[in-house]
Amino acid sequence: MAGPLEGLKVLELLRVPPGAFCTMMLADMGAEVVKIETPAAATPEQTAQAERRAAFEFVNRNKRSIAINLKQPDGQKLLHQLAANADVLVEGFRPGVMARLGGDYETLKRVNPRLIYCSLSGYGQDGPHRDQPAHDINFLSIAGVLNLIGERDRPPAIPLNLIADYAGASLHGVVGILLALLARQHTGRGQLVDVSYLDTSLALLAATPMMQDFLLNGADSRRGTGLVGGSYPHYTTYETADDKALAVGCTDAEQWDAFCKVIGLGGSAETGPDGACPDRAADGTTQAAKAVVQAVLRRKTRDEWFAIFRDQQVSAAPLHAVDEAFDDPQVLARRMAVNVVHPRHGSVRQAGIAIKLSDTPGSIRGAGPALGEHTDEVLRVLGYDETKRGELRQAGTVA
């Protein structure tokens, strides 16, 4: 069955996985994604290792790879030829780099006025920080996100690079591209989609209850405070008898009362969630309640407690290690842990497709390609015969 984006041609010029996650989502839904990569000199052993890594690279599945040296005029000519027939181009360089490579939006829109050109950059295409190098932790710092994550009297907890990189720029990039494609149906024109890792981090933070209280009432938020900050007994983690842990998330009074009843304690409005005060700090009463709950949950193992909470419809879940997550029955039932067959490296385990479409579902058609694996295939489509392809290789324009 065809995916919803079948026939959509996408060019990817990215060097980091977060941007490639954006194009992977398009590829999973049927888009034809061609990775334009930089040729690299390597020994046979290095090439073999790189190929194996590529095969297991989750964000590169369902894609083809062509290796082009964009610093050469002939390489830039190839990029223009590819862009002339593309629907979407996604690039993740700092502002100004694509212009030096002859592939900025202003240049390529003259080649193809219908092209959707998505730029994923740290700070966006304008502003005083636009040329500053940075990573996820830096964007979260400026956006005020990092200062709100973790315990009250400890340094901030660093949330991997999930927020700015993946939930932020990658997913907003997908949405921006799809919006631009919808707009093109009405206007017949492409456009620039300017997505900033910083912008998207701030937008995600603004959706939280804590920030809503700040924007509405000017409340001064602090790390470890608020009803979902981890300092309250109803929304935190607890150790169990087997030195594992449970995550409890009872964000309304009814759920908290049910939780307390299951573990044999009397629920109390003083220690439970209070929607009227989303940013108040935990006081001595709530801290004492947390200690009492911890003592009770130490009496059984994590999985024993989870079985009880699941049967009683209480919001609690096991704190999984990564290997446990991939073996969870719900994850398996939803096909979120899958095996992709690679012709040389066998079974490659990956996360599945999170968006389930009933009529035009996405699909995983292949593992990540090796560098330049499809160079000949792509050049043939552009009209380059074997002789011309050989000349380009000899000149170092392609690999």
Same domain (yes/no): 312, 344: no
DSSP secondary-structure letter at 252?
Answer: S
Report pLDDT for 277.
44
Q: How far is residue 340's CA from residue 51's CA, in Å, rounded to a whole number?
A: 15
* 49 and 86 housed in the same domain: yes
Residues 237, 151 contacting (CB under 8 angstroms): no
Predicted pLDDT of residue 393: 96
In a domain, 145, yes or no: yes
Q: Is the pLDDT of residue 275 over 50?
A: no
pLDDT at 364: 95
Closest CA to 62 of 338, 357, 356: 338
Q: For residue 391, what pLDDT band results from cuts at 50, 70 and 90?
A: very high
* Structural domain contains residue 295: yes
Quick one: 266 and 301 in the same domain?
yes
Q: Are residues 35 and 184 in the same domain?
A: yes
pTM of the predicted structure, to 2 decimals: 0.93
Q: Is residue 226 part of a domain?
A: no
Co-location of 81 and 194 in the same domain:
yes
Is the predicted pLDDT of residue 307 greater than 60, yes or no?
A: yes
Q: Are residues 178 and 62 in the same domain?
A: yes
Q: Indicate whether 48 pLDDT > 80.
A: no
* DSSP 8-state class, residue 38: -
Assess if residue 27 is contained within a domain.
yes
Rg, the chain, Cα only: 25
94 in the same domain as 145: yes
Which residue, 261, 286, 319, sits at the end of a domain?
319
pLDDT score at 276: 41
Q: How does strand 32-37 pair with strand 9-13?
A: parallel
What are the tens digits of pLDDT across the range 140-171?
Answer: 999 999 999 998 889 999 999 999 999 999 99
Give a yes or no: residue 349 inside a domain: yes
Catalytic-residue membership of 80? no
Is 70 exceeded by the pLDDT of residue 6? yes
Sign of CA dihedral 128, 23, 89, 113: negative
Same domain, residue pair 41 and 173: yes
Q: Is residue 73 very low, low, confident or very high in pLDDT (cuts 50, 70, 90)? A: very high
Flag whether pLDDT at 219 surpasses 90. no
What HEC string does 253-302 produce?
A: HHHHHHHHHHHCCCCCCCCCCCCCCCCCCCCHHHHHHHHHHHHHHCCCCH
Is the per-residue pLDDT at 263 higher than 90? yes
What CATH number is attached to the domain comprising 134? 3.40.50.10540
286: tokens are 């709530």
pLDDT attached to residue 210: 76
What are the strands, taking DSSP E only, across the chain?
Answer: 9-13, 32-37, 63-67, 88-91, 116-121, 192-196, 235-239, 245-249, 316-318, 337-342, 346-351
Quote the pLDDT of residue 278. Answer: 45
Give me the count of residues in the chain: 399
Give the 3-state secondary structure of residue 78.
helix
**Residue located via tokens 């194009």:** 23
Query: Is the confidence at residue 38, as pLDDT, over 90?
Result: yes
What is the tally of structural domains in the chain? 2
DSSP state of 328: -
Residue 97 lies in a domain: yes
Asked if the model's pLDDT at residue 76 lies above 80, the reply is yes
Under 8 Å between Cβ of 163 and 204: yes
Please report where in the chains the tokens 């899958």 appear, as a residue: 338
Averaged pLDDT score across all residues of the chain? 92
The pLDDT value given to residue 273: 65
Element (H, E) at 388: helix 386-394
With beta carbons less than 8 A apart as the criterion, state whether 11 and 31 touch: no
Residue 369 phi, psi (nearest 5): -80, 155
From the list 131, 79, 133, the residue with the least C-alpha distance to 105 is: 79
Active-site annotation holds for 129: no
- Residue 392: phi, psi to the nearest 5? -65, -40
Query: Considering 292, 319, 346, which residue would you say is the last residue of a domain?
Result: 319
More confident residue, 9 or 15: 9
Could you give the percent of the chain with pLDDT greater than 70? 95
Does some domain include residue 182?
Answer: yes
Catalytic residue among 80, 135, 320, 345: 135
Does a structural domain hold residue 36? yes
Separation of first and last alpha carbons in the chain:
34
Question: Are 198 and 253 members of one domain?
Answer: no
Residue 307 corresponds to which tokens in the numbers above?
Answer: 């079985």
Q: Pick from 23, 28, 30, 25: which is nearest to 6 by CA?
A: 30
Domain boundary among 290, 319, 348: 319
Domain range for 308 is: 235-319
Catalytic pick among 104, 136, 165, 199? 165
pLDDT, tens only, 93-144: 999 999 999 999 999 999 999 999 999 999 999 999 999 999 999 999 999 9
DSSP, collapsed to helix, strand or coil, labels residue 249 as strand
Tell whether 346 and 315 lie within a shared domain: no
* pLDDT above 90 as % of the chain: 76
* Tokens, residue 206: 């603004």
- Is 190's pLDDT higher than 70? yes
Residue with tokens 């994550």: 149
Predicted confidence at residue 193, as pLDDT, reads 98
Is residue 271 within 8 A of residue 253, CB to CB? The reply is no
Q: How confident is the model at residue 272 (pLDDT cuts 50, 70, 90)?
A: low
Q: Is the pLDDT of residue 268 over 60?
A: no
Cα dihedral sign, 274-279-280-286: positive
53 alpha carbon, distance to own chain's centre: 19
Q: What are the φ/ψ torsions at residue 227 (nearest 5 degrees)? A: -75, -10
Domain CATH code at residue 282: 3.30.1540.10
Q: Would you tell me how many other CB atoms lie within 10 Å of the CB of residue 8?
A: 20
314 and 348 in a single domain? The answer is: no
For residues 62 and 369, the answer to whether their CB atoms sit within 8 Å is no
Same-domain check for residues 245 and 345? no
**Which of 207-211, 323-327, 340-344, 374-378 is predicted with the least confidence, judged by mean pLDDT?**
207-211
| Residue 348, pLDDT score | 87
**In b/e form, how buried is each residue of 277-297, taking b as 16+ CB within 10 angstroms?**
ebbeebeeebeebbeebeeeb
Place of tokens 């004492």: 288
